[in-house]
Amino acid sequence: MLGAIHKDIGFMQMAAVLAVLAIGLFLLTLATAFTTKERLFMAVIYILIACTFLNNAFFAIHLGFFSLFLYRLLLIAAGCLHIFGMVRNRTHIERWHGLQVKGILLFFAFWFIYGLVSLLWAKSVTVGLKYLALLAMGIFFIYLIVMYVQKMERLMIVYAIWLVMTVFLMIIGFYNHITHHHLASSTLYSGPEYKQHYPTSVFFNQNDFATFLSISFFFYITMMKNIKNGYIKAIGLVLSLCALYLIFATGSRASLLGIFAGIAVYIFIVLPPVLKKMAIWLSAAGIALFAVLFASKIYSKFWELFLAPQTLHSFHDRLPSNVARANLLKNAWHFFLDSYGFGVGAGNVSYYLEHYAVYDTDNVAEVHNWLVEILANFGLFIMLGYLSVYAYLIWVLYKFYERKLENQSKLITEGLITAMVSFLVSSISPSSVSNLFFHWVFMALVIAAVNVLRRSSQMPEPMYR
């Protein structure tokens, strides 16, 4: 009888999804008949961007192997509108030809194709398909944003949406922190009492929230620096302090380290050219001196975590967090070498950690390091490709920053450069970044900014239209 009830519930969920999709497609078709395609599509895009920040906190339809959230439904709607526009006219070809970041988009396409091929040697095709579904949604989102946000005006709207939605998420975070109440989507919703003070907002846990805030912090800092209005400067200062406080409240050391790294880079890029060379030499000397003074301690810790034989521990006691994370990295490295550098297959590193772990991880099945996750899943070539694209985007933004841009473009370049540095460091905090959709929103914003700035250097007039 229970099985029949579960089947009925599953059928009702599927019917509800189909009904929502059918009604949505009908309304989109109707709206298309009475609204200009451009306005309608951009409205869908902006709403989609805003909804990505809500995750699955307020709306979710669970289909067993997959879940539909509000932003996923809107992504489907945006995809339908995009295909409808491609059938009706050829403007998408003109948009594509006008792109200045085709190589970057082609890398993401190759990444996805490689992921499909990797299923041939993956232990779990089901896990791989789920992972590739997340990857496909992220890549398609980047494609849509880059294709349709090709003007500074639209880029600033996307930037503003991020700033506004962060305020909403921080309000929820402060509510968590003060009342010890969490949304049902949080692991702390029914978690232990001693963890209830950690803010999680709409995220799965406090580390995900802290990583998100490590990006937003620099958006508010650059807003405070580059906007002349005194009230907005004050708002930027207050919001940046709120973000910093919440990061402290999460206890995420990686995100705090990301903030420090971002601040260091920010100080460097705003220095006059003469002082930059001095800063580089002083930094190099400081790092060398630190390495010499603490070489024995650094090597001792490295040996303890990564080279020393694994010691047995009581299964009644949890591993220290640093030992558990080191073991996760050692396992991932072992899987990577065992795959001859090609990766274990899309999403399969978690499957390997669960079933074939060589080092004890206290049953944790996520790598907790974004770059290592890419390395173990997809191999050396894809990881180096992602890292190269990431470094290239920072470099291009910095070269534009050196051109003495006006305040609006400076706000974009400063905010994105420092946020990218911060995220690269703080991304070792979440269990996995693949399911954090704000990462794809952030990457889309960065790539779209590079495209807009490059187009502006060739065609200065249309940039702000």
What does the DSSP assignment read for 243-255?
A: HHHHHHHHT-HHH
Distance CA 133, CA 142 (A): 14
Structure tokens given for 237: 């200062």
The band of 306, judged by pLDDT with boundaries at 50, 70 and 90, is: low
Query: Is 109 a residue whose pLDDT tops 90?
Result: yes
Query: Is 425 a residue whose pLDDT tops 50?
Result: yes
User: Which residues does 219 contact at the CB level (< 8 Å), separation at least 6?
Assistant: 159, 162, 163, 166, 415, 419
Distance CA 334, CA 353 (A): 11
pLDDT of residue 263: 95
For the residues 11-23, what does the mean pLDDT come to? 47
Least trusted range by pLDDT, from 158-167, 224-233, 285-294: 285-294
Q: Please choose, from the candidates 432, 47, 448, 442, the residue with its C-alpha nearest in 3D space to the C-alpha of residue 205.
A: 432
pLDDT of residue 295: 72
The answer to whether residues 328 and 369 touch, using CB atoms and an 8 Å cutoff, is: yes
Residue in the structure block whose two tokens are 């239209």: 465
User: Which residues does 255 contact at the CB level (< 8 Å), separation at least 6?
Assistant: 207, 210, 211, 213, 214, 247, 422, 426, 429
Least trusted range by pLDDT, from 1-10, 167-176, 427-436: 1-10
Query: Is 153 a residue whose pLDDT tops 70?
Result: yes
Distance CA 96, CA 78 (A): 17
For the residues 10-18, what does the mean pLDDT come to? 46
Query: Is 79 a residue whose pLDDT tops 70?
Result: yes
What are the residue ranges of helices labelled H in 150-205? Answer: 152-179
The band of 1, judged by pLDDT with boundaries at 50, 70 and 90, is: very low
Distance CA 382, CA 343 (A): 9
What confidence tens digit (pLDDT) does each residue in 329-339 have? 999 999 999 99
Highest mean pLDDT among 48-57, 159-168, 270-279, 319-328: 159-168
User: Which residues does 381 contact at the CB level (< 8 Å), separation at least 6?
Assistant: 114, 341
For the residues 92-113, what does the mean pLDDT come to? 90
Q: Which residue has the higher pLDDT, 65 or 138?
A: 138
Percent of the chain topping pLDDT 70: 85
DSSP H or E segment with residue 27: helix 2-34
Query: Is 353 a residue whose pLDDT tops 90?
Result: yes
Average pLDDT, the chain: 84
The answer to whether residues 308 and 335 touch, using CB atoms and an 8 Å cutoff, is: no
CA distances from 275 to 280, 300, 396, 419 (A): 9, 36, 21, 23
Residue in the structure block whose two tokens are 């009342």: 179
Helix, strand, coil share of the chain (percent; to 5): 75, 0, 25
Residue type, 299: Y
Distance CA 417, CA 449 (A): 11
Query: Is 26 a residue whose pLDDT tops 80?
Result: no
- Residues 107, 112, 117, 118: is their CA dihedral positive or negative? positive
The band of 305, judged by pLDDT with boundaries at 50, 70 and 90, is: low
The answer to whether residues 455 and 112 touch, using CB atoms and an 8 Å cutoff, is: no
Query: Is 10 a residue whose pLDDT tops 90?
Result: no
pLDDT of residue 80: 84
Highest mean pLDDT among 2-16, 177-191, 246-260: 246-260
Q: Please choose, from the candidates 339, 399, 326, the residue with its C-alpha nearest in 3D space to the C-alpha of residue 368.
A: 326
For the residues 388-395, what does the mean pLDDT come to? 96
Count the alpha carbons within 13 Å of 257 in the hemisphere toward its beta carbon: 10
Burial of 403 (C-beta count, 10 Å sphere; 0-12/13-18/19+): exposed
Q: Please choose, from the candidates 370, 364, 351, the residue with its C-alpha nearest in 3D space to the C-alpha of residue 324.
A: 364
CA distances from 176 to 187, 208, 253 (A): 12, 14, 19
